[in-house]
Amino acid sequence: MELGGIKKSKKGTLPNLIIIGAGKCGTTSLHYYLGLHPQISMSWEKELHFFVCELNWDKGIEWYKSSFTGERMIYGEASPSYTNYPFFKGVPERMHSVVPQAKLIYILRDPIDRIISHYINDYSEGKVDRRIEDVLSHLDDNPLVLKSKYFMQLQQYLKYFPKSNILIITLEDLYRYRRQMLQEIFRFLNVDETFYCSKHLDIKHKSTSKRRKSRAGLVLKRLYEANIAKLFSLNVRTNIGRFLSVPFSHKIDRPILDDRLLAQLVDYLKEDINCLRGYTGRDFKDWCV
């Protein structure tokens, strides 16, 4: 059976929609909202990271196809790791080799807000344990910063996918104009654009100012090393993490960048963001860059 250029089998199918990022820009919310549409099936596990060689590429296409089942017009996934160049290279090339006709959605937000949000996420999960000023003491080759160079990330895809196959939206618009933005996305995907339900009003975006620094992840890691956590399903592991998060955590206050660091970030990012403005024809007037 052929569906939108994708060959479908009993074991699953390949996606024809991929949310390529950006990280901490609402990809989880968008994945949820799109999955409510009766003509769209989003992967049960949101982030498959299949096209990243260092992550799940070696698992093979049959593993990837197994995440997309049922009878739908659109099958999709969302992996922000797909816009993590140059740390993950070759992602668009691999993607094009497997799903050359796929529609891509790139959701963005104020680039400096994204950096702060990503820092809070990494700090809360114990990936970094330094002040944001220390993490941003150098900007070149800084993974936290380069993820906010949206046009540079986009350029990697424009080498393989036509402009007509890439939709760029913003987190700000998704929350300010929810219904209109979903209609635009549904038109882009050629599904029923009139669909809207009460669950589309759900607020799925979690404020990073309310995040907590938790050692629950470290506890689960120790359980993994003891081959205990592997006995449980993903849902059970998630609930274990939530149960452990309160006694092993404390609230994180959103960091405020001093004027000097803010000016450095603006200066570092402005050329890239201005290129994005030129490409999209949008002014992104609410952004601080």
What would the pLDDT profile of 37-79 be if each residue is shown by its tens digit? Answer: 999 999 999 999 999 999 999 999 999 999 999 899 999 999 9
Domains of the chain, residue spans:
2-110+147-206+269-280
In the prediction, which pLDDT does 103 show? Answer: 98
pTM given for the model: 0.84
Q: Each residue of 211-234: pLDDT tens digit? A: 555 555 555 555 555 555 556 554
Q: Average pLDDT of 3-9?
A: 42
In the prediction, which pLDDT does 241 show? Answer: 53
Strand partners of residue 2: 7
- Residues 6+ away with beta carbon under 8 Å from 59: 50
pLDDT tier for residue 4 given thresholds of 50, 70 and 90: very low
pLDDT tier for residue 242 given thresholds of 50, 70 and 90: low
In the prediction, which pLDDT does 252 show? Answer: 76
How far is 275 from 272, CA to CA, in rounded Å?
5
Task: Return the higher-pLDDT residue of 249 and 286.
Answer: 286
How far is 21 from 80, CA to CA, in rounded Å?
4
Task: Return the higher-pLDDT residue of 174 and 6.
Answer: 174
Please name the fold of domain 2-110+147-206+269-280: Rossmann fold (3.40.50)
Q: Average pLDDT of 80-105?
A: 98
Task: Return the higher-pLDDT residue of 228 and 248.
Answer: 228
Query: Could you tell me which of 74, 73, 34, 45 has the C-alpha nearest to residue 200?
Result: 34
Q: What average pLDDT does the chain have? A: 87
Q: Each residue of 99-140: pLDDT tens digit? A: 999 999 999 999 999 999 999 999 998 999 999 999 999 999
Task: Return the higher-pLDDT residue of 278 and 250.
Answer: 278
